[in-house]
Amino acid sequence: MMNSTTKWPADIAGVYRYATKKGAIDALDVAAGELGIGMREMSEAVNQLVESRLLRAVDGAAHRFIPVDPQVAANALVASVEREIYQRRELIDQIRDFVGPAPSPIEYLAGSLEVRGFLKMAGDACRTEVLVLQSGEDDAEELARAYLPLLSRGVTVRIVCQHRNRADLATRMKLKQLIDAGAAIGTVSHVPRSAVVFDRTLVVLFGLSDGETNVARVHNDGINGFLLDLFDHLWDTATPLEGAESGYANVADDLRQAIAGLMAKGYTDEVVARKLGMSVRSCRRHIATLMRDLEATSRFQAGVQAARTFLASGA
């Protein structure tokens, strides 16, 4: 397998493009002649592509090779690079532990490649349970890609995400895929920050810095315990998501209570929508319904009245 420092010679890139264009390399000598390279260069290029899993030898035909789908090949190569980056980081950490003081209570990893490599290693090492807090910025497709392999190994996966995930069909279908595989998913009005806990010991907090994805790997028992308590609290108050059910019907009261509380604090429609991870248009529909039901003349009045109503009813 090519490592992250290996450069692609022109011959290798040209042979792979030739294979994808033709659909197969039926004979090395013919391909070499059409590409204008020698048989030695052709053989070396094919061997390298096979080792890199970009070409596959066809059973029963030792000199016939077919290309792997470019997207699949790219994903495989990227995954190997991500893993290698994180393994090197782990080696550096081990050396530092050996020659220096204990690591900081919070260790930061930045950059999508390093972050993905770390999460892949953490997932591979996970044995029993993964707890996920998914904020409004997360992608359901990323969730499916990250946790379906764990579910297939029998790892328990519980996810708390925002009510707004119920409103989008594509998101609901991705979450249904996880549910069908065995994941338990609940929604709440607001998740303050994305986080993952592996086996109740490895805690990872997600964030953005200058537009770049980063994670904080927490080594502090107090912080870890707080995050576990936060997850348990949100899980207990979450509304279960079952199948591909649509809209906010099952969570309307909870969502309007959250909207009312934010309105009572004087937040604008845009701020309320951003905090709840929903569109401004959807948020305004809920606000209009609140004002109509309460016969309120102002947003602030509606927010205060609604907040008092929910508090009195114990909702």
Model confidence pLDDT, tens digit, residues 199-248: 998 999 887 656 666 788 887 888 889 999 999 999 998 888 876 565 55
CATH code (residue 109): 3.30.870.10
- Number of domains composing the chain: 3
Instruction: Report residue 5's pLDDT band, with 50, 70 and 90 as the boundaries.
Output: very low
Domain boundary among 37, 53, 68: 68
In a domain, 138, yes or no: yes
Residues 86 and 43 in one domain: no
Among 100-114, 130-144, 280-294, the range scoring the smallest mean pLDDT is 100-114
In a domain, 4, yes or no: no
Domain boundary among 240, 270, 287: 240
Domain, as residue range, for 98 = 75-240
Mean pLDDT across 154-158 = 94
Residue 315 has what pLDDT?
45
Average pLDDT value for the chain: 78
Residues 105 and 143 in one domain: yes
Instruction: Report residue 282's pLDDT band, with 50, 70 and 90 as the boundaries.
Output: confident
Domain boundary among 51, 68, 85: 68
CA distances from 39 to 23, 35, 70, 72 (A): 20, 10, 25, 28
Closest by Cα among 255, 130, 222, 123 to 182: 130
Residues 154 and 228 in one domain: yes
Residue 132 has what pLDDT?
93
Residues 49 and 132 in one domain: no
Residues 60 and 175 in one domain: no
Residue 128 has what pLDDT?
94
Residues 236 and 304 in one domain: no
CATH code (residue 19): 1.10.10.10
In this structure, which amino acid lies at residue 59? D
Angle between helices 28-35 and 10-22 (to 10 degrees): 110
Tell me the per-residue pLDDT of 105-135, one tens digit each, with 9 for 90 and over: 777 777 777 888 888 888 889 999 999 998 8
147 in Cβ contact with 183 (< 8 Å): yes
Among 224-233, 251-260, 284-293, the range scoring the smallest mean pLDDT is 251-260
pLDDT surpassing 50 at residue 4: no
